[in-house]
Amino acid sequence: MKDKMDRYISEKYGSSLSMSQRMPISNRVTGEVLFEITAYVVIDHISGSKQRLVYIPKCNEYKLLHSIAVSINQIFNVFDGVGVIIGDEKSSGTIESTMDMPFSPKIILLLDEVDIPSNEMVNIFLSVDVRVQIVDLSKLYQYKSVFISYGGKDEDIVKNLNFTLIEKGIKTWFFPNDAKPGQKLHRMMSEGVMHHDKVLLVCSKTSLSRNGVLNEIERVLEREAEEGGSDILIPVTLDDFVYQEWSPERDDIARHIKARVIINVNPDSPS
């Protein structure tokens, strides 16, 4: 999830200086931590102001959103007195302190799988006199890039699957097309599963019997855990091996895969 937030800020503000802080949202009475968000302040050189952003992942409770709204000023108080000196007196003749920059009047809410209508979110923040702009990251970056993990003998079928995804406008990483000559194989595959929005895992007997594919599964599951339980891995299959015969050394890996919806994409399958 955090990858989407970082990507948005990078694409929107380029090389602008940014500061961030993870923030727990607590029950005002009991002190219990209910939720965690990430607050960002970006030094926007183009507008000459500081932009405030709040990343809110997986929220479907109005009470939690209201808790964020009433705490919004306190959330950004952590950045009070924090600034830098920018410019170069020798080369440009100007120098400026970012502490003197005004804040943009609107706070940008970066939402990721938040199941609350945008107009209602805007009203919740307006009720505490805070103007917000909504950016839905889950729609903005949905399925923009897919890494395909498979075993070599499945390549002919996977080639057709890759072609179908490209036709749908999805950017893919498919070994025969995208592998760079001379790059170390293990590093290339590890980076692939870590830097794409989704990982399409082919769960056939051929693919799930390869150590490389098993390593990629482990990396993806680790990434999902680090990102707070996000759903990155999409399993598809060409046969019934994953259901009936698959028994890897780490049985927790099998449980993670079998707990998901697995689609049969074999064009010759009667189903």
Contact by Cβ (8 Å): 152, 179? no
- Domain locations in the chain as residue ranges: 2-140, 145-264
Kindly give the interhelix angle for 62-70 and 118-126, rounded to the nearest 10 degrees: 40
Higher pLDDT, 9 or 101: 9
C-alpha distances out from residue 145 to 30, 58, 142, 248, Å:
42, 21, 8, 28
Asked if the model's pLDDT at residue 208 lies above 60, the reply is yes
pLDDT of residue 161: 92
Confidence of residue 226 (pLDDT cuts 50, 70, 90): confident
Cα–Cα dist 154/202, whole Å:
9
Confidence of residue 231 (pLDDT cuts 50, 70, 90): confident
pLDDT of residue 233: 92
Question: What's the average model confidence in pLDDT over 169-190?
Answer: 87
Average confidence score pLDDT of the chain: 83
Cα–Cα dist 232/223, whole Å:
8
Confidence of residue 163 (pLDDT cuts 50, 70, 90): very high
pTM over 0.85: no
Cα–Cα dist 254/247, whole Å:
7
Question: What's the average model confidence in pLDDT over 206-210?
Answer: 93
Cα–Cα dist 243/208, whole Å:
12
Asked if the model's pLDDT at residue 236 lies above 70, the reply is yes
Contact by Cβ (8 Å): 173, 199? no
Asked if the model's pLDDT at residue 165 lies above 80, the reply is yes
Residue of 111, 153, 101, 98 whose CA lies nearest to 5: 111
C-beta atoms surrounding 199 within 10 Å: 23
Contact by Cβ (8 Å): 229, 113? no
Asked if the model's pLDDT at residue 98 lies above 70, the reply is no
Token digits for 237?
Answer: 């299959």
The domain 145-264 is placed in CATH, from the list 3.10.310.30, 3.40.50.2300, 3.40.50.10140, 3.40.50.11030, at 3.40.50.10140
Task: Identify which of 30-44, 74-88, 174-188 has the greatest average pLDDT.
Answer: 174-188
pLDDT of residue 216: 93
Asked if the model's pLDDT at residue 90 lies above 70, the reply is no
Amino acid letter, 144: K
Asked if the model's pLDDT at residue 86 lies above 90, the reply is no
